[in-house]
Amino acid sequence: MIGLPLFQSKTKPKGPQNVVAIDIGTEVLKTVLFQTNSEGVVVKKVSRIVQQQSAMNKGIITNLNTVLENCRLALREVIQDAMSDQQPKSVVMGIAGEYVQGVSIIVNYEREENFEKEVDEKEQRNIIQRVHNQIQVSGKEDLALRTGLTQEDIEILHITVTGMEIGGLPVDSLVGFKGKSVKLFFYASFAPRTYVEALKSIAKSLNLQLIGIVSQPFAIARGFSGAKSKDFSGIFIDIGGGTSDVAIVEKGNVSDTQMFAFGGRVFTKEIARAINIDYRHAESRKLKYTDGGLEKSLHNQVKRSVYPTAQTWMKTLKAAFEMNKEIETFPSRIYLCGGGALLPEIKEVMMEFPWTKLLPFATVPKITLFTPSKLDNITDESGELKHIYDVTPAALALFAWDKINNPDNYD
């Protein structure tokens, strides 16, 4: 496969370098061109390419060549105004799907001999590396049992330090602090090797160095402004075309992620079946419906199909919550993003759901749309980052920024 010729410039780079974030969605492939600095991410350009129906299924690439061509088209759109010395050299990519799994791990560590001395960088690296090694073994074993895959078919996406404490004090780094008891919070993400290899092959074909492949619900939860604070707890639900991805944050740490294959495409298929029209016309009608652009009779026709489908989606979401047996009480705030969240029936069935009766919620949760303006450390120079379905690629960019600036927190 041939890479884009624009990437072949030998001009010496000057100033901040452009990076690309790619969210390969089931319905829409979203790309963000951005730069990083000490303050965060600066968005330069945004692209959205509608994917062919055969390209993806339930968040999984089914036609690699089609997806690659869509990636090429998206890249041409975002780099067309870039100077030759500002062509992107690296990429961060998101991954979703039912077989993408994440696990939250809390590690308690006692500094028996040196607790009266300040932690230095070497000691911190040794502590983190020891935990990484343990996760790589036990995490693969756990996922193999859950999915039925062999350990050889499972790849670790990233092991991320999401929080640290020493002597009971929350800190951003252990370095420079004294204390005996250390607590580390980790999030480890795993995916089938075939999924990961497909994304790696796309990056290679585009002549882009891969910064990382990240679990999308994890990136979204970490990207929300204030979500890393010990005072923050919340639930994030990204309703995409093929999947709905859930991330639960407790006291600033991602404690659980769940993904299930029920997204906007199910609603489109139900509209097509109920009205007896083809898929693309049904998708167009669904989008006009969410914008309030249908005349009354068509509006009511679509609503009769969408509402019961939304009720089924809510039952599936309930089942995803029930899979988590370790959380005693769920957070009381829910943030929705992704194109599917624009369907008014989604919020309607969530408002009608008896949360406190059927699930361990102390109070009925407050439901809010998660727009790009609520992302942390984002400056949008493009003026194009404004829809709730743009949250995911922008969150991927924030993941890349954090990994570039805090490499010791990642494996």
What per-residue confidence (pLDDT) applies to 233? 97
Residue ranges of the chain with per-residue pLDDT less than 50: 1-13
Average pLDDT, the chain: 90
What per-residue confidence (pLDDT) applies to 115? 85
What per-residue confidence (pLDDT) applies to 114? 78
**What are the tens digits of pLDDT across the range 303-325?**
999 999 999 999 999 999 998 88
What per-residue confidence (pLDDT) applies to 127? 82
What per-residue confidence (pLDDT) applies to 305? 95
What is the helix (H) or strand (E) element at residue 66, kind and residue range?
helix 64-79
What per-residue confidence (pLDDT) applies to 267? 97
What per-residue confidence (pLDDT) applies to 405? 87
What per-residue confidence (pLDDT) applies to 172? 86
The alpha helices in 181-324, defined as continuous H runs, are 193-205, 216-223, 264-275, 279-290, 296-322
What per-residue confidence (pLDDT) applies to 11? 41
Percent of the chain with pLDDT over 90: 67
Write down the residue that tokens 């010395």 correspond to: 85
CB 158 within 8 A of CB 189: yes
For 190, phi then psi, to 5°, come to -130, 155
What per-residue confidence (pLDDT) applies to 369? 97
- CA 157, 160, 165 angle in degrees (round to 5)? 165
Torsion of Cα atoms, 150 then 155 then 160 then 165, to 10°: 30
What per-residue confidence (pLDDT) applies to 411? 67
What per-residue confidence (pLDDT) applies to 14? 52
Query: Going from the N-terminus, what domains does the chain have, and what CATH number goes with each?
Result: 264-368 (3.30.420)
pTM of the model: 0.90
**How buried is residue 1: exposed, middle or buried, by Cβ count under 10 Å (0-12/13-18/19+)?**
exposed
